[in-house]
Structure 1
Amino acid sequence: MRFLPALTALSLTTAGLVVTSAPAHAAPAAPTATGYGGAIATVDPTATAVGLKVLRDGGNAVDAAIAAAATLGVTEPFSAGIGGGGFFVHYDARTRRVQTIDGRETAPATAGEKYFIDPTDGLPYEFNEARVSGLSTGVPGTLATWESALKRWGTRSLASSLRPAAEVADKGFPVDATFRQQIADIQGAFGQFTSTRALYLPGGAPPAVGTIQRNPDLAATYRLIASKGTGVFYRGAVADDIVRTVQHPPIAADPTGTWAYPIRPGTLTRADLAGYRLRYPVPTRSGYRGLTVYGMSTPSSGGTAVGEALNIIEAGRPDLHHYLEASALAFADRNRYVGAYSKKSVLKKLISDDWAKQRACLIDPAKALVKPVPPGDLNGAGCTTATTGAPVEEGQSTTNLTVADRWGNVVEYTFTIEATGGNTMVVPGRGFLLNNELTDFNFTPTQGEAADPNLPGPGKRPRSSMSPTIVLKDGKPFLALGSPGGATIITTVLQVLVNRIDLGMTLPEAMAAPRASQRNSAGIQAEPAFRARYGPSLSPLGHTFAADVAELGAATAIEFTRGGGFIASAEPVRRGGGAAAVNSPIDDSTRGRP
């Protein structure tokens, strides 16, 4: 868990985090907080503190979300930042509408289906060869997302939203074990680049736990954007520096560590940056046990896959066996049919109750399906299946935040630079890492003679698994949640929903429970505690387990209680633990909307 820097109006106490300008009854930040007047949960207490102060100063959920997100760009730089993109889901309490912003990165105009094929031998690049290169970087959409969200639903300017994060970057924060380990895990790649090495490998090694990590270049970049606007990023001096970094990677003359691959330049241009446009797709929508579940549509596969799996579970039984089988079936369909530009008719069918019944009829309550399972046949009926599509994996990084304000507005926001450390290149003089999102494309066709929905192309957005989700009950918020974790995002969100709605767990229990992810593979990926607790009952059904993983996801969530209250929840342990906070532990609803 991160610790707070010295910030204006923020301080540490032995009891935890407090905002010194807040009422005396303010509760400290912790993995779970219960109260009124607004709530926020992120993976990092500094970001939570910044967002909470915005809520207490009269800002709404969007204002707080953008300020917290900008701060995560400082304290969680290997997971997210202005060099990446993401998906923003917003519930407007006045209109009772859920709307979304697609801030996914786009491929350069030069990208074609053979973008990741080595022209010298006709073979696809190895993943890390493609990742640690200029080729992997798409046009970032995060900054455009922040600006658009504030203009549409916020009450504050982008400049004011960037100010607290710039102060954190200037003053710094103590390095914790998670931050140091993330650098150590990718030290070989970081050591290849002068700019990355200077920022994150002082003296040639990861910074020691407890030392202060500062980023004055990022602080200056934030302040430049605050002064000049986002045009400086997409069409001005920062754009020039991004293009230069992609086309001429800042390779060190004396790189530290070993790296097995040549570092290839990319083809991203200034015209690609200037031409970036956000999208505002209609969210996915599905019913589940009297609730309405809203998620992110394409280019994310998250909303469709979560919705389909929930429908399959609803058509069967609410237990872990059906959770795992529904996940496998949903991933089979996702890999075969879902890409950035899938037809609306296809997406609508995948999330329909009729399709769920067609898929659920394959599930035997007493015996696990043999994996991988084939996708369903869109033109068939009953239990008919089609040709198997290949599984696709994505990076395990990303971050997520959840915010609600005193007026009932909600933000669920998942954003990323893809793999931990992105393409591992810090833009010289600017202080932020670039994304490797284009490696989310399939490098080669995976569907045989059928069209692959996720091949590279000019200006295309790669498929994502990010699954920011808002659940309504009778038209009002009941639960909002999301998580990082690459393709495991879908199963993390799904499992938390099943835990909370079907298995009788409280939200904190649902978040803390051990996790497993079945993504249509021969073995279930599971945390050790899940295998130990549930393996004895699942194995006799034919479920098999792959090697254990230390943790899956790092979710944040808010539940909405009767009387306008909130239960804000973050991870108690995973990824170092998160931080949740509420405006007040008591009901103080006398203040009006600004």
Structure 2
Amino acid sequence: MHIRLALCTIVLTITTTAQGKTPVATGTGGAVATISEQASQSALAILNRGGNAIDAAVAAAATLGVTDPFSCGIGGGGFLVVYLAKDKRVVTIDHRETAPASYTPAVFMADGKELDFDSVVASGLSVGVPGTVRGWHEALQRYGTMSFAQVLAPAIDVANKGFTVNDNFSHLVAENTAKFRKFPATAALYLRDGKPLPAGTLLRNPDLAKTYGILSKGGVKAFYEGPIAHAVVDAVNRPPVAAGVNVRAGKMTLADLANYEARLRQPLHSTYRGYDLYGMALPGSGAVAIGEALNILEGYDLGKLPRAQAEHLYLEASRLAFADRNAYLADPEYVDAPVAGLLSKEFAARRRALIDGRRAPAAPVAAGDPYAFQNDTSVPLRPAPVPLQKESAHTTHLTVSDKDGNVVAYTFTIESWGGSGITVPGHGFLLNNELTDFDFSGPAPNVPEAGKRPRSSMAPTIALRNGKPAFTVGSPGGATIITTVLQTIVNYVDFGMPMDEAIAAPRLSQRNGAMTDVEPGFADTAQAKALAAYGHRWSPQPEEIGAANAIVFNPDGTVTAVSEKHRHGIGSALVQRRGH
């Protein structure tokens, strides 16, 4: 259903799904796109009360912690990218989780072998020091206009009154029932008689409402010191498990929490066909890999090529970028990564020359050598290439703009669906398993070390054109975040798709593997068969890839907020109405 409302000087266009959500909305004033109707409503409420995009983003994020607790929350961390309209600059806040001070590169090893990945996930050993609350604090203090009490109020209301569980929520519980059963506080929230909450259930989380209330009064210190901090450390070091269950304990201290710091980093800047793209620098690998892949693709006129050939080139550029990403990138406070070389247009030309325009390689490709393009007179170490580490695909992304032109692209996470599975007793939030983003063994840039942030694929992106915001885009999906954002940009910029079609298109994720990950139903399509002629092979277990959100700033001054039309239970895009 399409609704078009003329509101004096404002035109509001809304696309409504059968479920009542609005995944596409165009209008003037502020805009928001999230995967949750309640979260989008929270952001809009803050905008309507005079808050700016930063205030609204925190309000949406806090509400997502209630309605999408398996993807994100205050037990995790994230990357926040902000365009400040008054200053005409982009800033970024890295509040990625850190390894406790006790961690060493051998923490995930025993008897010379790597520990079992899945058993580490569901344990205290996988929990990084949470950064989300510190990140929200920095954003509000530096760039917001409202207090914690104001921006957390909508989420507290949702947590107290409850929300109706949908099919997607129930499905996620079903996928993680075995993990949730291990931890009584988690089972009490999300299981009934040991079974997943059915769709249609009204779910309240009074413990989380109470925790948000404590933050509203006590601010950031109330999380990193005092009773909440004690509860987090206890849950990590002595995981509260069901009778007969044993999981590995963590090694976190109150000092780890009290000493946690967010990082204000220079944004990672790259260019593509007249756009300036800004994202999170290391330890975020997404912006680097996307920038390198786009530099490679810039050598082709993709829009004039047959679609199958253009998509083949996209897959191969992604393959090369992932080979380099895996070999070199990690926390910049521990590893001197050759980012300038990786983003060099000349290096991209060297990598582009390796692409066979008619055939995909049968095996993973080797990393390139970006050091020659660094303008670096030192003799840096060249790490050996490493295989792609298993990386969970469960995060969330939101984007907000306000009437003054400020823009936020924000991706945050607790890593796997349901994180570690450990709910902090009495506080209603799940703890992350972010430390499984480290390589379990080395030598490799991304091994665990005390205080280190694991490499991330999160890629919140703001694109400017002629110095003004043009669009934002981001997605969850672990390492597939990089390919989702990359493919969406190619769809929008090169293929000329409207952003809603660019996001809705079938996703292909090539991460330097023998096979390309695809979504259900793709392998039998004409598009798949055309690409198979180039030698591409599809993963045998297709899964939904990502859940993207975007905002487009249109030439006529309107904004279009875009969310998913069919993935993850359909997203929610809202814009302000007249009077705000």
TM-score greater than 0.5 by the shorter chain: yes
- Equivalent pair of 1:376/1:386 in contact (CA under 8 Å): no
Q: Which residue of 2 aligns with 1:395?
A: 392
Q: CA deviation at 1:476?
A: 0.5
Q: CA deviation at 1:387?
A: 5.2
Q: Which residue of 2 aligns with 1:304?
A: 288
- Equivalent pair of 2:162/2:204 in contact (CA under 8 Å): yes
- Equivalent pair of 1:26/1:583 in contact (CA under 8 Å): no
Q: Distance in 2 between matches of 1:520 and 1:434?
A: 31
1:87 aligns with 2:71: no
Aligned counterpart in structure 2 of residue 404 of structure 1, from 386, 395, 401: 401
Q: Distance in 2 between matches of 1:535 and 1:189?
A: 35
Q: Distance in 1 between matches of 2:521 and 2:43?
A: 33
1:50 aligns with 2:42: yes
Aligned counterpart in structure 2 of residue 188 of structure 1, from 171, 178, 181: 178
1:200 aligns with 2:190: yes
**Does 517-526 or 531-540 show the bigger shift?**
531-540
For normalisation by structure 2, the TM-score amounts to 0.92
- Equivalent pair of 1:482/1:493 in contact (CA under 8 Å): yes
Unaligned runs of 5+ in 1: 1-13, 256-261, 446-450
Q: Which residue of 1 aligns with 2:274?
A: 290
Q: Which residue of 1 aligns with 2:355?
A: 363
Alignment of 1:362-511 (within 5 A): 362-379=354-371, 388-445=385-442, 451-511=443-503
1:230 aligns with 2:193: no
For normalisation by structure 1, the TM-score amounts to 0.90
Q: CA deviation at 1:156?
A: 0.6
Q: Distance in 2 between matches of 1:24 and 1:163?
A: 30
Aligned counterpart in structure 1 of residue 116 of structure 2, from 126, 129, 136: 126
Q: CA deviation at 1:235?
A: 1.1
Q: Which residue of 2 aligns with 1:562?
A: 555
Q: Distance in 1 between matches of 2:233 and 2:248?
A: 14
Pair 254,166 (structure 1): closer, same or farther in 2 beyond 3 Å: farther
**Does 543-552 or 421-430 show the bigger shift?**
543-552
The secondary structure found in structure 2 opposite 1:87 is strand
- Equivalent pair of 1:375/1:386 in contact (CA under 8 Å): no
1:278 aligns with 2:262: yes
Q: Distance in 2 between matches of 1:263 and 1:538?
A: 44
1:579 aligns with 2:563: no
Q: Distance in 1 between matches of 2:230 and 2:496?
A: 53
Q: Distance in 2 between matches of 1:171 and 1:461?
A: 36
Q: Which residue of 1 aligns with 2:305?
A: none
Q: Which amino acid aligns with 1:468?
A: P
- Equivalent pair of 2:13/2:25 in contact (CA under 8 Å): no
Aligned counterpart in structure 2 of residue 176 of structure 1, from 150, 161, 166: 166
Q: Distance in 2 between matches of 1:576 and 1:237?
A: 36
Q: CA deviation at 1:528?
A: 3.6
Cα deviation, 1:91-130, whole Å, max 9, x if unaligned, reads 0111110110000000011100001112xx3321111111
Q: Which amino acid aligns with 2:116?
A: E
Q: Which residue of 2 aligns with 1:329?
A: 320
Q: Which residue of 2 aligns with 1:549?
A: 542
Q: CA deviation at 1:209?
A: 1.1
Please report the RMSD computed on the Cα atoms of aligned residues, expressed in angstroms.
2.1
Cα deviation, 1:150-205, whole Å, max 9, x if unaligned, reads 11111111111111101100110011111111111111111111111111112221
The secondary structure found in structure 2 opposite 1:463 is coil
The secondary structure found in structure 2 opposite 1:480 is strand
Q: Which amino acid aligns with 2:281?
A: S
Alignment of 1:21-170 (within 5 A): 30-118=22-110, 121-170=111-160
- Equivalent pair of 1:184/1:206 in contact (CA under 8 Å): yes
Unaligned runs of 5+ in 2: 303-309, 374-381
Q: Distance in 2 between matches of 1:298 and 1:206?
A: 38
The secondary structure found in structure 1 opposite 2:561 is strand
Q: Distance in 2 between matches of 1:98 and 1:386?
A: 32
1:314 aligns with 2:298: yes
Q: Distance in 1 between matches of 2:566 and 2:448?
A: 37
Q: CA deviation at 1:389?
A: 2.4
Q: Distance in 2 between matches of 1:345 and 1:514?
A: 33
Q: Which residue of 1 aligns with 2:528?
A: 535
Cα deviation, 1:481-528, whole Å, max 9, x if unaligned, reads 100000000000000000000012111110110011000000111124
Aligned counterpart in structure 1 of residue 235 of structure 2, from 245, 266, 274: 245
Pair 379,70 (structure 1): closer, same or farther in 2 beyond 3 Å: closer
Q: CA deviation at 1:380?
A: 5.5
Q: Distance in 1 between matches of 2:51 and 2:343?
A: 36
Q: Which amino acid aligns with 1:103?
A: H
Q: Distance in 2 between matches of 1:345 and 1:550?
A: 32
Q: CA deviation at 1:547?
A: 1.5
- Equivalent pair of 1:316/1:360 in contact (CA under 8 Å): no
Q: Which amino acid aligns with 2:39?
A: A
Q: CA deviation at 1:563?
A: 3.0
Q: Distance in 2 between matches of 1:104 and 1:350?
A: 23
Percentage identity across paired residues of the two chains: 49
Q: CA deviation at 1:247?
A: 0.8
**Does 404-413 or 544-553 show the bigger shift?**
544-553
Q: Which residue of 1 aligns with 2:203?
A: 213
Q: Which residue of 1 aligns with 2:376?
A: none
1:350 aligns with 2:350: no
Q: CA deviation at 1:232?
A: 1.6
The secondary structure found in structure 2 opposite 1:511 is helix
Pair 170,386 (structure 1): closer, same or farther in 2 beyond 3 Å: closer
Q: Distance in 2 between matches of 1:26 and 1:540?
A: 41
How many pairs align? Answer: 553
Q: CA deviation at 1:87?
A: 0.2
Q: Which amino acid aligns with 2:468?
A: K
The secondary structure found in structure 1 opposite 2:297 is helix
Q: Distance in 2 between matches of 1:267 and 1:52?
A: 40
